[in-house]
Amino acid sequence: MGDRLLVGTKKGLFELRRTPGGWSIAGTRFIGDPISMLLHDARDGALYAAEALGHFGVKLQRSRDGGESWQEIPAPAFPKSGTDGPSVSYLFCLETGGADQPGWLWCGTIPGGLFLSQDHGESWTLNQALWDLPQRKDWMGGGFDDAGVASICIDPRRSDHMTIGVSTGGVWITDDGGASWRGSAEGMYADYFPPERRHDPEVQDIHRLVQCPAAPDTLWVQHHNGVFRSTDAARSWQEVTTIRPAKFGFALAVHPRDPDTAWFVPGVKDECRVPVDARLVVARTRDGARSFDVLTAGLPQSHAYDLVYRHALAVDDSGTRLAMGSTTGHLWVSENGGDAWTLAAGHLPPISCVRFA
Amino acid sequence: MARVAFTANLERHLSCPVQTVPGNTVRAVLDGVFATEPRLRSYVLDDQDRVRRHVAIYVNGDRIADRDRLGDPVSDADEVFVFQALSGG
């Protein structure tokens, strides 16, 4: 069970620990600095914290002693190509490579780059094949000025097989470790796009993409205009129409062993990003989206305007403990698969990401 | 030798004391500073070595004109000041 939580916020990193009396803040780091992403590398215990300093750019910090001390290491950066060239503005997601790739890290950025480090973050290389995709010209910013690689899923059976989600820019799959990519949108649609382009892979806004570790052929997507599920390794997608109380949202988590169990945090819709009826709920399916439970116990059911960002809902390795943090600085934990939630901290800065570590 | 000073706000992240360095452009002067503190480069310049959008550079009280190539001239006894533009919340 995950007894430690790392919480990245607009104004610092918070560490929470579980004690017999409940969850409490055990430490803080980087107070005042925006934290965009966190990573715990279970292979070697290292922690990573990505910063988005408002004036001074993106930074990457690493701790090799469980968070006691941190060292700044190089952050991903685009190759120099001239004064019109790109520059990383946000480190959007961080994931470890496969179990057979010690020291490998992948980082998705805004603008939509994918970077690989093969040396624990000491150096980074842009994945040129993805960056050079002709379809990238149709990628767009989704809440940011530029498109971003928001999700990276590495197949636990074969590390060369990766599936990534771009917001906005679709789902892309590689079978050769990133040497080549193909879009996958069969069954998806983008209802905000001109009809003749609505089904194109590169226009899909993938808010969040997750893969079940124990059943990697099952993937879930919280899309800008709905929820989609694949059971054939992202070759095709089926829209989930049963989710309640709304199909819009950002956050999504899948059970580590049961591909049919997933959690969502719906909001009204894209132009009104607040909980339906100002009641914060978690939508959970345990039968592969045939039905959903709307979970409310312990969550505010009156005048709640919390939004949970795409990386701010986490499930631990047991599949029964969850945590989620909101834009209004509330952090809730559930010990029973979402049936009931407890407020673990209520006055944090806006929360960008939550990780069990 | 130009005198280069950085906003004290950078001291939260890394050491950047006032320095005197040679160079006849802003680029040359800053490269001289970065040679002694390589980490500082990414705080002031972006991936393409342009001045970061929310960083301001002044020479003797005048804002530099060339934020992409940093070609503004610098003479001995000039003062270069690097600080953050006021933004954010």
pLDDT digit string, tens, across residues A143-180:
788 999 999 999 999 999 999 999 999 999 999 999 99
Nearest to B47 among A56, A59, A78 (CB): A78
Distance from CA of A81 to the nearest CA of B (A): 7
| Chain A with chain B: Cβ pairs closer than 8 A | 55
Please give the residue range of the domain that contains residue B32.
2-84
- Which residue does chain A place closest to B89, by CA atoms? A54
Which single residue is written with the structure tokens 């439970």?
A293
Residue A82 has its nearest CB partner, among B14, B48, B85, at: B48
Q: Is residue B13 part of a domain?
A: yes
Coil, strand, or helix at residue A234? Answer: coil
Question: What's the predicted TM-score (pTM) here?
Answer: 0.96
Tokens representing A332 are 């809730």
Supply the DSSP string of A148-163, one letter for each residue.
EEEEEEE-TT-TT-EE
| CATH number where B12 lies | 3.10.20.30
Q: Give the ipTM of the model, two decimals please.
A: 0.92
A54 touches chain B (CB under 8 A): yes
- Where are the alpha helices (H) located in A151-288, listed in sequence order? none
Arithmetic mean of pLDDT over chain B: 93
Identify whether A134 is preceded by a cis peptide bond (ω within 30 of 0): no
Say what the pLDDT of residue B87 is. Answer: 59
A59/B13 Cβ within 8 A:
yes
Cα-Cα-Cα-Cα dihedral sign, residues A42, A351, A53, A93: positive
User: What CA–CA distance (Å, rounded) separates A321 from A74?
Assistant: 33
Helix (H, G, I), strand (E, B) or coil at B29: helix
Tell me if residue B66 falls in helix, strand or coil. Answer: coil
Q: Is the dihedral of CA A237, A238, A241, A242 positive or negative?
A: negative
Residue A85, Cβ density class (10 Å: 0-12 exposed, 13-18 middle, ≥19 buried): middle
* Distance (Å) from the alpha carbon of B47 to chain A's nearest alpha carbon: 5
Domain count within chain B: 1
How far apart (Å, rounded) are the C-alpha atoms in residues B45 and B51? Answer: 5
Q: Between chains, do B88 and A54 touch, taking CB under 8 Å as contact? A: yes
Q: Assess if residue B59 is contained within a domain.
A: yes
Query: Closest to A80 (Cβ–Cβ): which among B39, B42, B48?
Result: B48
| pLDDT one digit per residue (tens) for chain A, 357 residues | 789 999 999 999 999 999 998 999 999 999 999 999 999 999 999 999 999 998 999 999 999 999 999 999 999 999 999 999 999 999 999 999 999 999 999 999 999 999 999 999 999 999 999 999 999 999 999 778 899 999 999 999 999 999 999 999 999 999 999 999 999 989 999 999 999 999 999 999 999 999 999 999 999 999 999 999 999 999 999 999 999 999 999 999 999 999 999 999 999 888 889 999 999 999 999 999 999 999 999 999 999 999 999 999 999 999 999 999 999 999 999 999 999 999 999 999 999 999 999
Q: Is residue B89 part of a domain?
A: no
* Six-digit token string for A124: 């980074």
